[in-house]
Structure 1
């Protein structure tokens, strides 16, 4: 199968050119489980790991391949290993769960991100959750698309649509049902040959059922929900990349319990474009919107042009990103120091080997 069928385009081709003469072969990560990667090349599919040199020079886990990545392989008598990761054109990430300040890349090189929410009650949809997902999605480099799924189980679908539309910041909103097929034809515009669509959302919102409906057959296992909040149990436990008959490429990943933000304060500008536009009218360019004279945001709040709850969500996410940014700066300095220490150690070992051979 040609690489173009897996989304290979001029961007990745240009990144690959400097390595062509080194005998490295490009491939896409179509499966990942416990540091073993399934790679699709133009000739075959194979399982492999990263090389020792790769492990030695990677500064952190976010620099390791993930589903959707394009990598370069080196073949030898012992098989193939991943030698290099090509630059990503989009990265959907979150802060890794726990106390560590570390990026967890959920999917790479997606053209679109389908943000799937269930309208069957429980905690599967809220405006705050949507704003959080949009903040990460707009910052990823991919185009977010909001999917309000399970409309067959919702008696007040229009109110959810209006609420989602009010905070979408330009992202398209669709209502679907994997059970009845309602709204699925509207998604065909995104499911074009060579285009990659990543699915994300909480467990139990119907991502796997939606993928099965789009594929026209059962290729993903579906599961049940907890009764107390209608959140689902994980049925997708590994990341995988799926091809549809249309030629579109889908990325399915395990459901998310909590999406912790990753990025900088500027990440909010697209998800809260209304606030960003109003802020441009403030008298002072560094206005914090907390009482300065000539604050256009406070004026919009007083007139009702800007919703108070939306602004409060904005401030909450802003505080979270500012705190994260401070911790990131300190961690990156340590990682850079450790990276060059490892490189120096490797260079010293190579020099010792060369001297021994002479």
Structure 2
């Protein structure tokens, strides 16, 4: 990333962000954009250039995900310290590994998610559906980017398969090493826009990032030819300025992508399943052996791919589990808040009695 000073407009600032700041905020601090996350703090860009700033522990302890790449923060004018996190207009997040159902932020304030896969054994329709559901649920425009099409005997089959995963989804085939080919992504790389690249390791995310920024800042490594699986090269998220005035975030390859409560995203990705479900005999049809199920009938007569239905069921179960955990967490927070208020009232009463 460059240490050049950037204006707010160049960093992707939106007028709506200013609604969350007061005149005093602008007098004592300044907005900055997070371009890197380290254990010791954040790297941010603002009118003063590239700064390393610390983050108050309280900012990472709440129910909202901690600051991530792409976020806007208010930084003290006279200290390298974050004062607060500004509300996000979009957040791409997944459920972290483990049993706690903790939300892990991937990137914030995105306009477009470039879901990168390759025309080989890495192409996995069910995994792509996960990325698409996350993007749609967050209000982010997803674009499927197919790499290595020049090495594939039948690239059209991959293009058709990707296009069938969601209604109206844009699919672009590129040579990640060629600037002329990568220029096909220009419609999503206008001035002030922010895009993130996501996908498994070895599909060409870092190579494509280097081509877009016309640099070689991201280390790259090829796939293992025996199984087409990539080697991890990007180990942390970073945000880079493009010659077009857009910003690109490269994310590490994710072996596991668990979705949260993404009901709206699932409705969009599996639009044909939702339309068929409206024809089921019973409104609470589970589409798993129920009498008069229009969805299963469509699978039986070939109008709906059985893999699609299996993927839909699996993601629905994950989303339902995340919703239950979220409700339970909110209930615990509500109960804890009530106990805190009760304790504070008791303290005030005791002080009155002591007087």
Into which bin does the TM-score normalised by the smaller protein fall?
0.7 to 0.9
Contact 1:59 1:338 in 2 (8 A): no
Equivalent residue for 1:71?
Answer: 73
More displaced 10-residue stretch of structure 1: 191-200 or 283-292 = 283-292
SS of residue in 2 equivalent to 1:314: helix
Q: CA deviation at 1:327?
A: 2.6
Partners of 2:178 and 2:30 in 1: how far apart?
Answer: 44
Contact 2:90 2:109 in 1 (8 A): yes
1:268 to 2:271 alignment: no
Partners of 2:37 and 2:81 in 1: how far apart?
Answer: 14
Partners of 1:262 and 1:170 in 2: how far apart?
Answer: 24
TM-score for both structures, normalised by structure 2: 0.87
Aligned-residue RMSD, C-alpha: 2.7
Contact 1:33 1:239 in 2 (8 A): no
Q: CA deviation at 1:339?
A: 6.9
1:240 to 2:238 alignment: yes
Equivalent residue for 1:178?
Answer: 176
Mark the CA change 1:49 to 1:227 in structure 2 (over 3 Å): closer, same or farther: same
Mark the CA change 1:341 to 1:230 in structure 2 (over 3 Å): closer, same or farther: farther
Q: CA deviation at 1:99?
A: 2.6
Mark the CA change 1:13 to 1:344 in structure 2 (over 3 Å): closer, same or farther: farther
SS of residue in 2 equivalent to 1:203: coil
Structure 1 portions without partners, runs of 5+: 352-358
Deviations 1:138-179 (A, max 9, x none): 112210000011112211111111111111332200111113
TM-score for both structures, normalised by structure 1: 0.86
SS of residue in 1 equivalent to 2:35: strand
Which structure 2 residues correspond to residues 312-331 of structure 1 after superposition, within 5 A?
A: 312-331=310-329
Equivalent residue for 2:351?
Answer: none
Partners of 1:344 and 1:218 in 2: how far apart?
Answer: 58
Contact 2:65 2:103 in 1 (8 A): no
Mark the CA change 1:156 to 1:267 in structure 2 (over 3 Å): closer, same or farther: same
Contact 2:95 2:258 in 1 (8 A): yes
Mark the CA change 1:207 to 1:343 in structure 2 (over 3 Å): closer, same or farther: farther
Mark the CA change 1:25 to 1:343 in structure 2 (over 3 Å): closer, same or farther: farther
Q: CA deviation at 1:285?
A: 3.7
Which structure 2 residues correspond to residues 13-162 of structure 1 after superposition, within 5 A?
A: 13-17=18-22, 20=25, 23-55=28-60, 58-60=61-63, 62-76=64-78, 79-119=79-119, 121-122=120-121, 124-162=122-160
Partners of 2:229 and 2:323 in 1: how far apart?
Answer: 31
Partners of 2:298 and 2:197 in 1: how far apart?
Answer: 35
Deviations 1:224-271 (A, max 9, x none): 333443322222122111001110100112111121112244431011
Mark the CA change 1:21 to 1:222 in structure 2 (over 3 Å): closer, same or farther: closer
Equivalent residue for 1:257?
Answer: 255
SS of residue in 2 equivalent to 1:5: coil
Q: How many pairs are equivalent?
A: 341
SS of residue in 2 equivalent to 1:94: strand
Partners of 1:26 and 1:181 in 2: how far apart?
Answer: 33
Structure 2 portions without partners, runs of 5+: 1-5, 349-355
Equivalent residue for 1:355?
Answer: none
More displaced 10-residue stretch of structure 1: 100-109 or 233-242 = 233-242
Contact 1:59 1:336 in 2 (8 A): no
Partners of 1:151 and 1:66 in 2: how far apart?
Answer: 32
Equivalent residue for 1:356?
Answer: none
Contact 2:222 2:230 in 1 (8 A): yes
Partners of 1:219 and 1:343 in 2: how far apart?
Answer: 51
